[in-house]
Structure 1
Amino acid sequence: MFIPLPTYINIDNQKSANYSLLFNKWTKFSGDFNRPTKLGDEKIGEFIRLKTEFGNRTNQFNELIRLQKSKMTNLLSILKTKSYFVSVIKCRVSDALICGIGDEHTLENSMRFDHCTGLPFIPSSSIKGVVRFAGEFNNENDEREEGKENLIFGSKDGIGEVQFWDGFPSDVPKLKTDIMNNHFQDYYSDPTGTKAPSDDMNPNPVPFIVVDADSEFYFPVIAEDENNLIRAVEFLKCALSDWGVGAKSSVGYGMFYDFTEEIISLPKPKPKELTASELAFEDLKKAPNSESFVNWLETLKETDERWLSKYERLFIEKEKRMVTPSVPLNLRGKEKSPLLD
């Protein structure tokens, strides 16, 4: 086996590398790198290795999921302050989920992983496509009415008023290996077209990786109009529960259940920033000594006389006057207090 990477990268970085990089670029195969051969039966073993590598990164993924979720929540909170309406729908995979199975890959069947986090995710384009289909589908005549919901999804004349973001896992999902079984490989691959399909032909199992059942994902939806958001969320739930997202949805993949909505709160107000004199005053209250008092005096300006009179916390000490050069001119000569209560 040959992997065209420096030895120190293979040894030092492979175990902690981004899983998307590992899955797409560090896949093992037999043969010359310039002329790779098919893995054949080794494919299943390699997919098992990749699945195991994913499971070994649980702690790393937990932190990445926390950061990803925090980033998303902060963005949605800020959008709420800008008069946007937001919703985050959480649900669980019914059977299995796979997106990007047709992407180019050494093992022929791929899977879509986020380039930044290495997590399996559902691209927003895939989500919007199936949600639009669900919104335009007429259950009465079992036909799609194209252009029915252009206000929400957009058209050639303009963008839609609802945004669908990428779907990410709420917790570290479980991966499992699956197979597609081609029973008539000799028939499909016959260049002469003379062979007929028959039951005595050897099946050709094709392995691939999927997200296992009960893995939870969340789907952010944003709109400027609340009614459009409500309708878009209804279409989203219908699409995920009835139609499925990703590959092989016709055989039940990509279906979701157990829908809940996560509440996004407004961002907490920022604490008031204290001025230099106020910060020094707080230090003085914590440590009432001559050094803190001098530090506080050095922060005062000519305009701070009203600030001082407002607090009225100076205690007169007889025969000691404030003559420190840092004291504003209009405060010099006043009787000095060593402490504040």
Structure 2
Amino acid sequence: MSKVEKKKGILSIDKEKNLVKVLYQHPKRPDKKKQLTVHEIKDIPEKYDGQEVIFTVLNGNRVVEIEIIKNKEKFVSKRWKTSMETAFKRDNVRIDKHTGKSPEKDGKGKHEEEYIFFLPSHLRQLMKSVYMDIGRVNKINPSLFLYKYTPGKDLDDPFSKIAGKHWERFEKAFSSNDEFHKASMGSQQILLHTIDNENWYIKKIQKKLQWRMVVGLGTNHPYEVSMRLHHIYGVPIIPGSALKGIARDMALIKIAKKEKKEVSGIEEKVQKYLAVKDQKDAFFATIKSKEFSNLTNEEKLLLAFGNQQFSGIVVFLDAIPDSAPKFKVDIMNPHVQKHL
């Protein structure tokens, strides 16, 4: 496979000798310049002599494209342009896609599985080189790998095997992967430290799962089944909004049991509470005077969790694993009824 690199340098044009060069920084010696002679690109105007450029190098010595940084004008080798157009026609069928071969073999030892990545060209090339290598896949952000870098197939082909193998590859690559987990824990600690400095009351809750858990099965995904991962760090989370909803529902149930009322009635009362100006003024006056004992149960619920007019004073952060998560491929069939 050809090695393609982009470098930044200075263009040098000698019209008398009909010579074009690019000068650039030596990668290991900052005090020294290196140069490459441009053989394949002709007719670069002399006015660009001394201009800063970004140039593309093939296999370490062939300059095949030069872009003037100042005005973005490009000069491309005809051989390079022709080869790129040929590759594009070979690798693309109506839509922008890349086809790669899976190492899984059939009984005759042939590569039968065909993957299609619906990605921009540079990402197609990346996924072609790393997708089957677990040691390299686990360096990719897990959420990108799961949500965006999903292979597919032509519409006429069965789809389920591709989906299952992608989930299995995700399991192998990211189970017990500590790198992304450490980053998420560090971010959470910084956030908690910042909140603590603002004199907020912090309550930490740790719970242990009894069995496997998945959150976000209905999250949009090409395979129609998904899970919720942190969009930056890629670790599984229980979103703070979900935790707030659970806590609010439990508070509603407890108040309903205590007052022997219907949950729906209390919910409706809380939602409408701040709609009346007199109630709103009285509510905030009580809060400012810190006479919390004078609040009704509905007002305490409103104070903590809020409604459509008021967000509430309790903030729920996302719940994240306290150790590197372990993933396991499983089936989801809660809709299947028991058969007699």
Give the shorter-chain TM-score range: 0.3 to 0.5
Question: Structure 2-normalised TM-score?
Answer: 0.47
Higher relative contact order (CA 8 A, sep 6+): 1
- Of structures 1 and 2, the larger Rg is shown by 1
Question: Structure 1-normalised TM-score?
Answer: 0.47
